[in-house]
Amino acid sequence: AQKVTQAQTEISVVEKEDVTLDCVYETRDTTYYLFWYKQPPSGELVFLIRRNSFDEQNEISGRYSWNFQKSTSSFNFTITASQVVDSAVYFCALSGTNYGGATNKLIFGTGTLLAVQP
Amino acid sequence: DTGVSQDPRHKITKRGQNVTFRCDPISEHNRLYWYRQTLGQGPEFLTYFQNEAQLEKSRLLSDRFSAERPKGSFSTLEIQRTEQGDSAMYLCASSLSLDAYEQYFGPGTRLTVT
């Protein structure tokens, strides 16, 4: 069975602090994809990043960085120099492959609520 | 606006009534997904379509739920004889099926069953 665990329910930081959101996943697929989505107070899920299981390179995009480690089945997300606008619920998600290699359903974790205080 | 759109954004209904939601995906996306999200939880998969074919349904999708995508463009999700437990945010997402895997979500329809 596929499962995503986000053990941190809520995190509160002060602006400019760095913060890491943890994600641990379980899957029996050999090919799979991992995702992070942001859900701001407005409610619409915003895609942040996709990673496939064969690419363990860490990725950096501006203040965001992701650390994928297959050995520990983790895909952690770090925000450097956090800002108030980063306040949101962040979801980690997992998908297997089917029907020509594209993803089918996403399995989401329960999310981490990040509150960045000014 | 070329994103995923959903209508209505909010729906309040009495228990036992039928409701129907509509989703318009990004125009070139041939995959369309429905999810349900309750307070404090991540979205849960309900069903998905590739063009007009419904390829997978979750066991969460009871007999009271039905989804269609008749021409491979917009989709509708109908809930018959609504129950209070159906109160949730219903999210629609779309994606390309080749060379791109991320799903893009609409703003959701919030259903409240009284």
Counting one residue from chain A and one from chain B, the pairs whose CB atoms sit within 8 A come to 67
Q: What is the pLDDT of residue A31?
A: 82
Is the CB of B31 less than 8 angstroms away from the CB of A102? yes
* CA atoms of A77 and B90, how far apart (whole Å): 26
Q: With a cut of 70, which residues of chain B have pLDDT below it? A: 1, 98-100
The nearest CA of chain B is from the CA of A12 a distance in Å of 17
Using CA coordinates, name the residue in chain A closest to B36.
Answer: A108
Query: Among partner residues B98, B104, B106, which is closest to A102 by beta-carbon distance?
Result: B98
One-letter-per-residue 3-state SS of A29-88: CCCCEEEEEEECCCCCCEEEEEEECCCCCCEEECCEEEEEEHHHCEEEEEECCCCHHHCE
Is the CB of B40 less than 8 angstroms away from the CB of A106? no
- Chain B hits for A103, Cβ within 8 Å: 95, 101, 103
Share of chain A above pLDDT 90, in %: 70
The B residues from 5 to 34 touching A (CB cutoff 8 Å) are: 31, 33
- Chain B hits for A10, Cβ within 8 Å: none
Confidence bin at A96 (pLDDT 50/70/90):
low
Q: Taking residues A96-104, report their average pLDDT.
A: 57
Tens of pLDDT, residues A42-81: 889 999 998 888 888 888 889 999 999 999 999 999 999 9
A35 touches chain B (CB under 8 A): yes
- CA dihedral (B6, B10, B14, B15) in degrees, to 10, reads 60
Place of tokens 């917009």: B74
Q: What is the pLDDT of residue B102?
A: 85
Confidence bin at A29 (pLDDT 50/70/90):
confident
- Mean pLDDT (chain B) is 92
- Degrees (nearest 5) of the Cα angle B69, B70, B71? 100
Main-chain dihedrals φ then ψ at residue A7, nearest 5 degrees: -70, -25
Tens of pLDDT, residues B52-65: 999 888 887 889 99
Q: What is the pLDDT of residue A97?
A: 60
Give the residue from B67, B79, B66 showing the smallest Cα distance to B18: B79
Query: Among partner residues A33, A42, A43, which is closest to B101 by beta-carbon distance?
Result: A33
